[in-house]
Structure 1
Amino acid sequence: MPLAMAVNASAIAKHGFDFVLGVDGDFKAAIAKASSSGATESKRFILFVPNGEYNITKVTGDEHGKSTFSGSNISIIGESVDKTIIWNTTDTEGISTTATLYFPSNKNMYMQDITLQNRGTYNSGSAARQVALQQNAGDKFIYKNVRLLSGQDTYYTKKGRTYWEGGEIDGTVDFICGGGDVFFEGTKLVMTRNGGYITASQNPDTWGYVFNNAIIEVSNSGFNKTFYLGRSWGRAKVVFLNTIMRAEPKAEGWGPDMNSAPVIFGEYNSKNGSGGAINTSQRKTYFNGGKDASTATTLKTVWNANDAAKYTLKNVLGGSDNWEPNKLTAQVSAPKISQEGANIIWNDDDNAICWAVFVNGKYHSNTTTNSIDIGGIAAGSKVTVRAANSMGGLGASSNEITVLEANVTYYNLTINSSIGGSVIASPNREKIAEGTAVSFIAEPASGWKFAGWTGKSASDAGSESTWKTTMTKDIELGAIFEAKGTTTFQAEDGIIDNAINESTNAGFAGTGYINFGTGKSTVQVPVYVEYPGEYTMEMTYANGSGKTRNLAFAPPGTCSAGVDGCKGAEVISFEATDKWTTYQTKEATITLPKGASYITFSIVDGNDGPNLDQIKLTEKNVDKGTTSIAQINRTNATVSESRIYDTNGKLVRYTKGNANLTVLAPGIYVVKTSAQGYSKQKMVQVR
């Protein structure tokens, strides 16, 4: 499994990119410089390729469009796998003559976040052999999040050890072919034709092709169950372990032999896209040897855990030098950046070889220090930074900041989240220049109303739902909303994560409903009750799937985030309805605190849920006890203002006039009221 960040015994020697494609020259210049650089394992040559499409056919290609890239200890780093594409076209077909990139005898090569594509159209009506990547010899190749796109023979290997982590390989026939020992971890394999073969192993080294946690898909649903896991080009060795088959091969699994029978064809723990076991009872076991009948053999092709146990990354690729490629792919944590005067700064990281800086979404520069001068970067520009690991591969992006004028005073603006509505700030950014006019509007959701401001600036904001001021200091502001008299709450008003606020299927209340996704999908629905205690929760839903679907729900305060692994969450089943436009109700009991809170709904085990329309709350067993409120008893004294603090001294409510505790959650508070020079303080408990 990929590591979240690199861990090194000592700091990595800082080293910037040696060549940036399109900045320092074209691909021909890049190859020339890399090949002659004399790079070593301790000082690699790093070629960075910004987002873009690069046709290298006539730049570095031979008469057929094949580009040879010689040299060792070279990293080729893309900005992003989807948007960094190196491609070629060819005027012929052939496994040795068409490669987009050809590595003849390279060693210690590293590639990350890039797509190689052979767009050749020669004999496009059949499975023409047009290679995207060819490794002839060499050793210790690493491909992290790399995508190869072509038809037949997309990826051609001969010798040496290779490690794939993630990434994708598409093709039609034998699109992973050749020899060597190659360990694929979590790589996606996409079949793009009817009746093709994924692998064609030929005279491999000790282990051959080992796929662990691979994902198999097809580009067209009609190709499902028409293809093979592979065939023997000659003495093949291919193993599939823990494969997720979103598309399945033919029942026999393995195709007819070509030059000779396989030595090893194995499959263990294959699952379908829903996690169910694949039926492997008809997998092929006898292989006739193809052209060499003397090699005919019977193999055990469906394995158990003991059979699979020795196919570890360490065993397959470790070798005599104990190579550990998965440690080299570890990504450096995203930096946290900020601006101080004329510099953008971030913490140093011993695991980073350098940092790449992006301005307004485009590559700007790279640096070996943990800061950059904003000179040349216009105020208002958006800046992010990514750290490079020891091989040059870029990790996740930092937070985004907006560049400020260096000689202007700025103040912080913090808008706190609110239940039952939101605060709209204009302008809305983290730092605002001194003297800038700003406005704040407390906007309640449907059925809710504004009840006051919270935060350090609550007393400045007054009691109206709109506040206009000028930035002269830091502002922190939130809003309190209440929904007295409301018992029905719309799911689409909630905080949605990996779900859709949809209005396609008629019959819903409000403005729509929540269509849950797969994986991790949640919605936090805001609710309001007058009294704490038990309520009957009536959920309106639609489930036109034809099968029962589940949701888990968690009361407020039960789980810190979502309901995954939450012991207090309850799972409820939603039976199928006639159609997606047929809505019905389901009831459950839930315990709620007084005032505003969230009820969290989540899918279960990554499986899709029903469409959730709304929830209705009815009192079942609640506490209607009275609440003590601090008041001023003085003849002819009119309370001018009230402030309510929590036990940590944080202001949680400011109002003009008497204190109102009805919107507060249960707890202990300090209430301060004042009138005509007279003030009073009292500790109260809200139950």
Structure 2
Amino acid sequence: MKVGYLFFFVGVLFFQMEKAFGQDRKLMVAQDGSGDYRTVQEALNAVPDFRKVVTVIWIKNGIYKEKLNLSASKKLVKLIGENVERTILTYDDYAAKKNFFGEEMGTSGSSSFYVYGEEFSAENITFENSSGPVGQAVALWIAGDKAQFRNCRMLGFQDTLYTYGGGSRQYFKNCYIEGTVDFIFGSATAVFEDCQIYCKKGGGYITASSSPDTLKYGYVFLNCVIDGDAPEHSVYLGRPWRPYAKAVYLNCSLGKMIRGEGWNNWGKESNEKTAYYAEYASKGPGAATQKRVAWSRQLQAADLEDYTLAKIFRGWQPGLK
């Protein structure tokens, strides 16, 4: 009996050690061969399907030219780069580019990185579409729910960041996002906190929300800096890709490139009745709120109660894993 108990407890001990090791183990990607894998896609493929604990993938500095895909079965994946400016995941597809069959790739087909897996997170990573000013060219396409990005960069021109998932909740903290036309777009509910939104030369539109009428929130910018080298009065805060588009800027600094009217109806007056565009305490040379279109809103301090992360994200509280 005593021997039986001994084997039982030894077995439990080994199980706990194995479990702890499995949780703590990290994969390493390094182009020089010093890690577990030389490419990011190999590391993503190595993540066990439907794993219930976080899988951390460390990525050493380098320019990784790969068209990446994180499948829906790869959950709780976390990428950590060595240095945000030197750990670069990039590709150069664009919407008008022809695929193997001679067909145009389209906007969705142009992305450098597709994220389908839920509870994905990334830190200190640059996501880039390097094709240049050639029309729609997505750097990052996100469908998975509860996605988080901290201290990351999203680089491109038109359609840089595609917040694709209609029911997806996405959180961006201390990130840098650049582009020209509709460079933050899609159906997801996304919060951008303490981010730099950089409007590149040529002007255009920062957001093109397509949030459905079933969701209360679309894009929320908290304490962000909107700047760039776009010409003065050449950039709109947003335009509605779909009728019920939603975008709110709270306590943001707006540069001189922001147009006085602020918002555009995408050529459809009917959008003015359904889109929800608002600001609170905007500051800077682009905060000429008295010139805003009549169908936008200026919020009051009491309205901020509706913009906690818990309310925006329907109970989900993003945090470091």
Unaligned ranges ≥5, structure 1: 1-12, 62-66, 286-298, 330-390, 392-687
- The counterpart of 1:24, out of the listed 36, 51, 68, is 36
Q: In structure 1, what is the equivalent of residue 69 of structure 2?
A: 68
- The counterpart of 1:237, out of the listed 246, 249, 253, is 246
CA distance in 2, matches of 1:79, 1:39: 24
How far the C-alpha of 1:305 sits from its partner, in A, is 1.5
CA distance in 2, matches of 1:225, 1:303: 23
CA distance in 2, matches of 1:30, 1:18: 7
Question: What amino acid does structure 2 have at the position aligned with 1:144?
Answer: R
CA distance in 1, matches of 2:124, 2:36: 20
CA distance in 1, matches of 2:145, 2:43: 22
1:89 aligns with 2:98: no
Question: What amino acid does structure 2 have at the position aligned with 1:119?
Answer: S
How far the C-alpha of 1:248 sits from its partner, in A, is 4.2
How far the C-alpha of 1:173 sits from its partner, in A, is 0.4
1:301 aligns with 2:294: no
How far the C-alpha of 1:103 sits from its partner, in A, is 1.5
Runs of 4+ in 1 over 4 A off after TM superposition: none
Question: What amino acid does structure 1 have at the position aligned with 2:40?
Answer: F
5 Å-filtered alignment, 1:394-405, equals none
CA distance in 1, matches of 2:239, 2:296: 15
- The counterpart of 1:314, out of the listed 306, 310, 317, is 310
Of structures 1 and 2, the one with the larger relative CO (CA 8 A, separation 6+) is 2
Question: What amino acid does structure 1 have at the position aligned with 2:139?
Answer: A
Pick closer, same or farther for the CA change 1:199–1:300 going to 2, 3 Å: closer
Question: What amino acid does structure 2 have at the position aligned with 1:253?
Answer: G
5 Å-filtered alignment, 1:435-446, equals none
Pick closer, same or farther for the CA change 1:72–1:247 going to 2, 3 Å: farther
SS in 2 for 1:281: helix
How far the C-alpha of 1:108 sits from its partner, in A, is 0.7
Q: In structure 2, what is the equivalent of residue 135 of structure 1?
A: 142
How far the C-alpha of 1:224 sits from its partner, in A, is 2.8
CA distance in 2, matches of 1:44, 1:267: 37
Q: In structure 2, what is the equivalent of residue 253 of structure 1?
A: 262
SS in 2 for 1:32: helix
1:188 aligns with 2:184: no
The question of whether the paired residues in 2 share the 8 Å contact of 1:185 and 1:212 is answered with yes
Question: What amino acid does structure 2 have at the position aligned with 1:51?
Answer: N
Q: In structure 2, what is the equivalent of residue 267 of structure 1?
A: 279
Question: What amino acid does structure 2 have at the position aligned with 1:116?
Answer: F
Question: What amino acid does structure 1 have at the position aligned with 2:157?
Answer: G
CA distance in 2, matches of 1:214, 1:183: 11
Instruction: State TM-score, norm by structure 2.
Output: 0.80
SS in 2 for 1:216: strand
How far the C-alpha of 1:195 sits from its partner, in A, is 2.9
The question of whether the paired residues in 1 share the 8 Å contact of 2:189 and 2:219 is answered with yes
Q: In structure 1, what is the equivalent of residue 46 of structure 2?
A: 33
Q: In structure 1, what is the equivalent of residue 57 of structure 2?
A: 47
Instruction: Give the aligned CA root-mean-square deviation in angstroms.
Output: 2.0
Q: Identity across aligned pairs (percent)?
A: 31
CA distance in 2, matches of 1:143, 1:223: 29
Q: C-alpha offsets along residues 349-395 of structure 1, whole Å, 9 cap, x if unaligned?
A: xxxxxxxxxxxxxxxxxxxxxxxxxxxxxxxxxxxxxxxxxx3xxxx
1:198 aligns with 2:211: no
- The counterpart of 1:175, out of the listed 152, 176, 183, is 183
5 Å-filtered alignment, 1:324-339, equals 324-325=317-318, 328-329=319-320
Question: What amino acid does structure 2 have at the position aligned with 1:163?
Answer: Y
- Larger C-alpha radius of gyration, 1 or 2? 1
CA distance in 2, matches of 1:258, 1:39: 47
Pick closer, same or farther for the CA change 1:203–1:246 going to 2, 3 Å: closer
CA distance in 1, matches of 2:192, 2:139: 17
Question: What amino acid does structure 2 have at the position aligned with 1:265?
Answer: Y
How far the C-alpha of 1:99 sits from its partner, in A, is 0.7
1:284 aligns with 2:293: yes
1:323 aligns with 2:319: no
Question: What amino acid does structure 1 have at the position aligned with 2:282?
Answer: S
SS in 1 for 2:26: coil
Q: In structure 2, what is the equivalent of residue 148 of structure 1?
A: 154
How far the C-alpha of 1:258 sits from its partner, in A, is 5.4
The question of whether the paired residues in 2 share the 8 Å contact of 1:102 and 1:135 is answered with yes
CA distance in 2, matches of 1:239, 1:231: 12
The question of whether the paired residues in 2 share the 8 Å contact of 1:78 and 1:84 is answered with yes
CA distance in 2, matches of 1:149, 1:178: 17
5 Å-filtered alignment, 1:524-603, equals none
Q: C-alpha offsets along residues 77-105 of structure 1, whole Å, 9 cap, x if unaligned?
A: 1112111111111262632111110123x
Greater fraction of residues in helix = 2
The question of whether the paired residues in 2 share the 8 Å contact of 1:191 and 1:198 is answered with yes
SS in 2 for 1:131: coil
How many residues of Structure 1 are paired with residues of Structure 2 in the alignment?
277
CA distance in 2, matches of 1:52, 1:80: 9
How far the C-alpha of 1:263 sits from its partner, in A, is 2.6
CA distance in 2, matches of 1:300, 1:270: 14
Q: C-alpha offsets along residues 29-66 of structure 1, whole Å, 9 cap, x if unaligned?
A: 112102x35421xx21111111111111xxxx3xxxxx
Q: In structure 2, what is the equivalent of residue 217 of structure 1?
A: 227
SS in 2 for 1:211: strand
The question of whether the paired residues in 2 share the 8 Å contact of 1:37 and 1:45 is answered with no
